[in-house]
Amino acid sequence: MPAGSEPKLMVLTWDEFLGDVLQLARALGETRFDVLVAVARGGLVVARLLSDILSVKRVASVAIEYYEGVGERARAPRLVEGLNFDVRGLKVLVVDDVADTGETLKLAVDHVRKAGAGSVASCTVYVKPWCKFRPDYYARVVDKWVVFPYEHAETALYLLSRGWSFQQLAEQGLNRSVLEHLRAKAQRASPCGDRQPREGGL
């Protein structure tokens, strides 16, 4: 990628991520909810962790597509899978991992309200300073592209397609075992096989 055009990454370990989810749980305080609605895919992991921490056994989901790559977005979020649980009259917490513009979260909240929920609150672990639709609860504000521990491979593949090297990804903090797996997979797929030169050893 051209100099100066590389996105600023905040690469999370599982321990760091869990620590921030616990901070989000503390922000929720003693508020009780009947069901958590995860915004798939990012909100699924957060909702499962909060389900455990908050002892909320009912977890539902909606699927919304928005992001296309690191630092890139489609024109608008779209609902690709509606609510899979009857929330009529229930106290609902909509859960996602990060709120950037907030449009994805707003679409999810509006969808749950239309489904007849008794009340709807929203939360994300992270929120961007420029977010227009802020969640009711969040752990902290960040201005970098957050790389979650469950998307290191997806992020690496995208950045490799944009000209990054394995060495650059490792230096940014992406998991080395994941990178080695991707490198080995690429070498097996290459006509040169193991003869393909290693690009910047990890």
Q: Let me know: does 85 contact 58? Beta carbons within 8 Å.
A: yes
Q: Dump pLDDT digits (tens) for 109-153.
A: 999 999 999 999 999 999 999 999 999 999 999 999 999 999 999
User: Helix, strand, or coil here: 196?
Assistant: coil
When pLDDT is averaged across residues 149-173 and rounded to a whole number, the result is 93
User: Helix, strand, or coil here: 166?
Assistant: helix
Answer CATH for 9-147 from 3.30.420.40, 3.40.190.10, 3.40.50.10490, 3.40.50.2020: 3.40.50.2020
Q: Let me know: does 139 contact 38? Beta carbons within 8 Å.
A: no
Distance between CA atoms of 19 and 30, rounded to whole angstroms? 19
Q: Where are the domains of the chain?
A: 9-147, 152-190
Residue 2 has pLDDT above 50, yes or no: no
pLDDT category, 196, cuts 50, 70, 90?
A: very low
Least-confidence region, from 44-48, 142-146, 165-169, 191-195 = 191-195
Here the tokens at position 113 are: 């309200």
Going by C-beta distance under 8 Å and a sequence separation of 6 or more, which residues neighbour residue 180?
A: 202
Provide the β-strand partners of residue 81. 63
pLDDT at 1: 36
Q: Dump pLDDT digits (tens) for 40-62.
A: 999 999 999 999 999 999 999 99
**58 alpha carbon, distance to own chain's centre:** 21
pLDDT at 65: 87
Which one has a higher pLDDT value, 69 or 158?
A: 158
Residue 194 has pLDDT above 60, yes or no: no
When pLDDT is averaged across residues 183-199 and rounded to a whole number, the result is 67
pLDDT at 3: 40
Residue 193 has pLDDT above 80, yes or no: no
pTM of the model: 0.84
Q: Dump pLDDT digits (tens) for 79-106.
A: 999 999 999 999 999 999 999 999 999 9
pLDDT at 68: 60
Backbone angles phi, psi at 35, to 5 degrees: -150, 145
* C-alpha dist (Å) from residue 64 to 42, 55, 94, 184: 10, 26, 13, 32
